[in-house]
Structure 1
Amino acid sequence: MFLFLLGFVVYPLATLLMNSFFNEEGQVTLHNYMNFMKLKYYYIALFNSFKVSFFATLFAVLIGVPLAYLTTRFNIRFKGTLNILIILSLMSPPFIGAYAWILLLGNNGFITRFLNMIGVPFESIYGWQGIVFVFTMQFYPHIYLYVSGALKTIDSSLEEAAESLGMSAWQRILTVTLPLVLPSLSAGTLLVFMESFADFGTPMLLGQGFKLMPVLAYEQFVNEMGGNLSMASTVSAVMLICSTLVLFIQRFISSRHNYATSGMRVAKVMQLPLSMGWLLTILAFIPVSISILPQLTVIISSFLKRKGPVFHSGFSFDSYAQIVYKVPKAIMNTFSFSLAAMAIMIVMGILVAYVLVRRPSKVTGLLDSIIMLPYIIPGTVLGISLIIVFNKPPVLLTGTWIILVIAYVVRKISYTIRSSVGILQQLERSVEEASISLGVPPMKTFFKTTARMMIPGVMSGAIISWVAVINELSTTIVLYHGATATISISIYTEVFSSNYGAGAALATLLSACTLLSLIVAKQFSKGSKFIS
């Protein structure tokens, strides 16, 4: 595992960082970084990325925290339906949400035309405000899920003690409840910020000249394919440094404000009067209904009649007939590459989890840290680093399906390993020891006993990894070529060519596969702590 990570994570990233210090003539220089800090074209993209990520995270917190508090503390109606809709709104990649909002609020979107028809001035969703809106609606479920889980475990005696001391409800929330959920909240905000900072598809579709760092890195990479990649490496290096700094800041804040409770007496759900209960239910469903709207739009659009890029009234299967005829190779690539990556992640996940749990040491601790490193690396950065290293002999992988599978394993294996570690920590050593005491060799004991008991947790994590892989765009857009295009690439190209019908059909297919995969993962996770 160390060799794998050194070869496909540490070495490519180190090469990318080194490459940023060389000019076109191969001389060591800081010229690239000086240009980045001096030229507005470059540094404005960094400012834009931080601005978009900050506001997306802020609005996600403003939606997710109150929503989590409402659902865990009050008897609002249809709570189960609400939770399902929130998870459904989270499961599709952001670029599909951006594409759906183009159908609704684009220059010729359904809602845009309706608003202009009734005299309400509205231009379109394009621009930085639209990107923030899409990120907020896509990522607030992260905040909701983290905070609601934390709220369910808070010891109610602390809140009751605060109330007995005369604190108002708002004072209790601000001085007792929020500090107790701060570790979970900070983890959720980190995830939202990192997702917003690293996403490529949404700013590429909605930016229209508003540059963010992933788009800038991709454009520098594409423009310099025939020359040197120093500026693309520099932009990628800046992204990597910023991502790492944000992670350290989040961990520092969490370590400074670490609160814990026994969780013996969880808070009771308050029974509200009928009218107040319905009012809070309606308030809770407003953001959820908006966030699920892209999914419904994509599904409905995929069945609309169309002539060229224009939709007409009535329904048909023309869009699905077109994708079967036009992009069958992309569909086959998506599933074959993802299955290959999933098989590798299952084998590696089982073996690495065993080492981490059963053979803990400083060495395995270092291994665990390196495994989580790709979690904070933007997809475009990883793709560019792999291209730089494997674009020449003796190991020439650029343009092959192998480099895509390697990239998918590197980026998504952390899900499989975390779930494998979780299930193995639940298994007592006594079962293995009993098998060995009966004369079964340790290796045979592992495969016949331990590995079999780990299967539920391993498979649940592997399927989550599979879901992330089939929806992956930012890494694939850098590494693919015509013969290795995937469904996400096909959706991206169909939307850019204004073929929204085929794009909607492909997005619906991808969403259906994602939903089916999550259902299967839920079944495997029974008896495992990985998915709740």
Structure 2
Amino acid sequence: MNYAGEKRFTIWSSFSLVILAIFALFIIYPLILVLCKSVIDPQSGNFTMSYLTKFFTRKFYWSTLINSLQVTACATLLAAAIGLPMAYVMRSVKIRGSGFLDILIVISYLSPPFIGAYAWIQLLGRNGVVTNWVNTIFGIQFDGIYGFAGIVLVFTLQSFPLVYMYVSGALKNLDNSLNEAAESLGCTGFERITKIIVPLVMPTLLASSLLIFMRVFADFGTPMLIGEGFKTIPVLIYTQFMSEVGGDDGFAAALCVIVIMMTILIFLAQRFLANRNTYSMTALKPMTAQKITGVKNMLSHAFIYLVVGLAVLPQVVVIYTSFLKSNGGQVFTGGFALQSYQATLFSKDNDVIWNTYMLGLVSITIIVVLGILISYLTVRKQSPLNSALDMITMFPYIIPGSVLGISFLFAFNNPPLLLSGTALIMIISFAIRRMPYTIRSSTAIIGQISPSMEEAAISLGATEMKSYTKVTVPMMMPGVLAGAIMSWVTVISELSSSIILYTNSTQTLTVSIYTEVIRGNYGNASAYSTILTITSIVSLLLFFKLTGKRDISI
């Protein structure tokens, strides 16, 4: 809100400048350093294209980019192919236990993908339970799910819930009278889905697919665990930067630049397609679930139960194996015990759980405070400065965690800003990475609050700042807190940047799970995974309590 006679430079302008400076320091500056390192020879200081040339002239390197695109495209398409019919069936057919199934679907999504990879190793690895059973029964030599197929399997089952949640939300606003009109004109059920439902939810489908594409393309843990010879670009970046025989910073920086350019192009392409397929609809007659009988009912239930069962199977596996006796390594000796929890949860020198919660809570506090303020500035105080702020705060949305972690080490590994090795650098990384989600949700919430509420407070003698803190923020808080809980779950599940920035004193649950799996301590990895899963479930229940919702459709 701007008023006649209002000074051009106000306290809100000061907030905008300070926040813009913070984001410039922790986003623009590190990324500029990455770009410089990718084209400057460290010995001579001259401009060079040798790093980029090295990547594009050697098949071993550029094939990792092709691998990443193949895995990402397949996982995204399969996730959409599963999530879309899942949402339609759950919205149109009465499924027994649908409320509980909704919760299970969300839990499967909130779990980090690499936990799914570890669980599927337990089931379909070379010595997995299912692998041994198949080899014994059918007399074959199945070698496990390692490589391309395994990576796609894990990503698909972990990603389709996002499509399901987004499309479910879109179907809530779909006017079912269109369906009925098409049916009265002789359209079959399949034709109604392909010619009416799919086109109307296409913008939502594209938006959720973009999120999946970005997440899968940037994921490091899953291909590292089960990729073996099938390397992806995040794994190559990590190995080049963290190599024990001496990493190549310049080449790692060049890889980061290539990934950033790829993600920006993908993001712009999605925005272009979404803007060309935008619909606005009010559900005068919302779609309601109908009770059906016969074969259709059996097939609908079988499809939903099978997909949900496969999705939550990794969580069931890690919880189950966390209570098994083991020899301290990969072999479970039979019977149940609390051995894994004694070695993790009750270990004297184990601070990873405290680190996870402490870093997560501090990060979420920063995210909420800055997210609300930034959304207020960009909606209520529109100006070129705040437009620039809105644009720069979206950068972390398209930057993979490993790239952000490397850029932070480039930027903050020397005085005067020596942050590497501290808890602060991890907090900043978490907050910066997850800030865009809270900003977007807060922007949507504040757009629903009429400016007349603030104007009324000002007309009664309140200052703009008091109106903001006493009127606007309290009205936003229920929605903001609900979103913060979901952001909290993603923060404590972060691995890509944590694996690069952590030290022994700042190790988190996700890093511990990853390192235990690499060492072969599967019991310990299961115990840590169970703690993380339970934390996610409790957070989800708290979300339902605060919002009064019974589903998580977006």
Same fold (TM over 0.5): yes
Secondary structure in 2 aligned to 1:125? coil
Residue 6 of structure 1 is aligned with which of 24, 43, 46? 24
Residue 524 of structure 1 is aligned with which of 546, 549, 552? 546
What is the distance in 1 between the residues matched to 2:275 and 2:480?
A: 30
Structure 1 residue 531: Cα displacement: 7.0
Secondary structure in 2 aligned to 1:263? coil
What CA deviation, in whole Å up to 9, does each residue of 1:84-142 have, x standing for no partner?
Answer: 22111111010111111111111211211222221253211211110000000100111
What CA deviation, in whole Å up to 9, does each residue of 1:389-415 have, x standing for no partner?
Answer: 111222111111111111011001123
Secondary structure in 2 aligned to 1:391? coil
What is the distance in 1 between the residues matched to 2:527 and 2:40?
A: 45
Secondary structure in 2 aligned to 1:77? coil
Residue 470 of structure 1 is aligned with which of 462, 472, 492? 492
Residue 133 of structure 1 is matched in structure 2 by 153
Residue 505 of structure 1 is matched in structure 2 by 527
Matched AA of 2:72: S
8 Å Cα contact 2:394/2:436 also seen in 1: yes
Which range is displaced more, 52-61 or 443-452?
A: 443-452
Residue 283 of structure 1 is matched in structure 2 by 303
What CA deviation, in whole Å up to 9, does each residue of 1:180-233 have, x standing for no partner?
Answer: 110011111111111110101000101112110111001111138957511001
What is the distance in 1 between the residues matched to 2:85 and 2:211?
A: 18
What is the distance in 2 between the residues matched to 1:418 and 1:411?
A: 13
Q: Is residue 464 of structure 2 the alignment partner of residue 442 of structure 1?
A: yes
Residue 97 of structure 2 is matched in structure 1 by 78
Residue 6 of structure 2 is matched in structure 1 by none
8 Å Cα contact 2:397/2:436 also seen in 1: yes
8 Å Cα contact 1:340/1:405 also seen in 2: yes
- CA shift in 2, pair 1:525/1:416, >3 Å: farther
Structure 1 residue 152: Cα displacement: 2.7
Q: Is residue 437 of structure 2 the alignment partner of residue 391 of structure 1?
A: no
What is the distance in 1 between the residues matched to 2:292 and 2:247?
A: 67
Residue 315 of structure 1 is matched in structure 2 by 336
Q: Is residue 380 of structure 2 the alignment partner of residue 358 of structure 1?
A: yes
Secondary structure in 2 aligned to 1:314? strand
- Compute the RMSD of aligned alpha carbons: 2.2
8 Å Cα contact 2:367/2:431 also seen in 1: yes
Among all aligned residue pairs of Structure 1 and Structure 2, give the percentage whose two residues are the same amino acid.
44
Q: How does 1:183-262 map to 2 (within 5 A)?
A: 183-223=203-243, 229-262=249-282
Residue 15 of structure 2 is matched in structure 1 by none
- CA shift in 2, pair 1:417/1:216, >3 Å: same
8 Å Cα contact 1:200/1:474 also seen in 2: yes
Matched AA of 1:66: P
Residue 63 of structure 1 is aligned with which of 77, 82, 85? 82
Which range is displaced more, 501-510 or 436-445?
A: 436-445
Residue 147 of structure 1 is matched in structure 2 by 167
Which range is displaced more, 336-345 or 361-370?
A: 361-370
Matched AA of 2:200: L
Which range is displaced more, 323-332 or 175-184?
A: 323-332
Matched AA of 2:115: I
Structure 1 residue 288: Cα displacement: 1.1
Q: Is residue 444 of structure 2 the alignment partner of residue 426 of structure 1?
A: no
Structure 1 residue 268: Cα displacement: 4.2
Q: Is residue 70 of structure 2 the alignment partner of residue 51 of structure 1?
A: yes
Residue 503 of structure 2 is matched in structure 1 by 481
8 Å Cα contact 1:418/1:461 also seen in 2: no
What is the distance in 2 between the residues matched to 1:120 and 1:509?
A: 38
Residue 18 of structure 1 is matched in structure 2 by 36
What CA deviation, in whole Å up to 9, does each residue of 1:231-275 have, x standing for no partner?
Answer: 001111111111111111111222223334342222343432245
8 Å Cα contact 1:422/1:457 also seen in 2: no
What is the distance in 2 between the residues matched to 1:184 and 1:176?
A: 14
Q: Is residue 115 of structure 2 the alignment partner of residue 93 of structure 1?
A: no
What CA deviation, in whole Å up to 9, does each residue of 1:465-502 have, x standing for no partner?
Answer: 22111111000111112222111111111011110111
Secondary structure in 2 aligned to 1:41? helix
Secondary structure in 1 aligned to 2:138? coil
Secondary structure in 1 aligned to 2:334? strand
Which range is displaced more, 435-444 or 233-242?
A: 435-444
Secondary structure in 2 aligned to 1:408? helix
Q: How does 1:173-184 map to 2 (within 5 A)?
A: 173-184=193-204
What is the distance in 2 between the residues matched to 1:163 and 1:425?
A: 37
Q: Is residue 357 of structure 2 the alignment partner of residue 335 of structure 1?
A: yes
Matched AA of 2:472: T
What is the distance in 1 between the residues matched to 2:499 and 2:288?
A: 48
- TM-score w.r.t. the length of structure 1 is 0.95
Structure 1 residue 349: Cα displacement: 2.0
Matched AA of 2:236: L
Secondary structure in 2 aligned to 1:261? coil
Q: Is residue 148 of structure 2 the alignment partner of residue 162 of structure 1?
A: no
Residue 482 of structure 2 is matched in structure 1 by 460
What is the distance in 1 between the residues matched to 2:357 and 2:381?
A: 35
What is the distance in 1 between the residues matched to 2:244 and 2:520?
A: 27
8 Å Cα contact 1:221/1:232 also seen in 2: yes
8 Å Cα contact 1:390/1:398 also seen in 2: yes
Q: Is residue 286 of structure 2 the alignment partner of residue 266 of structure 1?
A: yes
Q: Is residue 510 of structure 2 the alignment partner of residue 492 of structure 1?
A: no
Which range is displaced more, 487-496 or 259-268?
A: 259-268
Residue 122 of structure 2 is matched in structure 1 by 103
Which range is displaced more, 144-153 or 205-214?
A: 144-153
What is the distance in 2 between the residues matched to 1:335 and 1:252?
A: 39
What is the distance in 2 between the residues matched to 1:177 and 1:85?
A: 25
- CA shift in 2, pair 1:365/1:265, >3 Å: farther
What CA deviation, in whole Å up to 9, does each residue of 1:7-42 have, x standing for no partner?
Answer: 111111122122211233222111111111110111
Residue 304 of structure 1 is matched in structure 2 by 324
What is the distance in 1 between the residues matched to 2:278 and 2:444?
A: 23
What is the distance in 1 between the residues matched to 2:28 and 2:244?
A: 24
8 Å Cα contact 1:422/1:530 also seen in 2: no
What is the distance in 2 between the residues matched to 1:145 and 1:412?
A: 19
- TM-score w.r.t. the length of structure 2 is 0.91
8 Å Cα contact 2:165/2:552 also seen in 1: no
- CA shift in 2, pair 1:289/1:228, >3 Å: closer
What is the distance in 1 between the residues matched to 2:541 and 2:288?
A: 30
What is the distance in 1 between the residues matched to 2:158 and 2:404?
A: 23
What is the distance in 2 between the residues matched to 1:93 and 1:265?
A: 38
Residue 4 of structure 2 is matched in structure 1 by none
Matched AA of 1:13: L
Secondary structure in 2 aligned to 1:192? helix
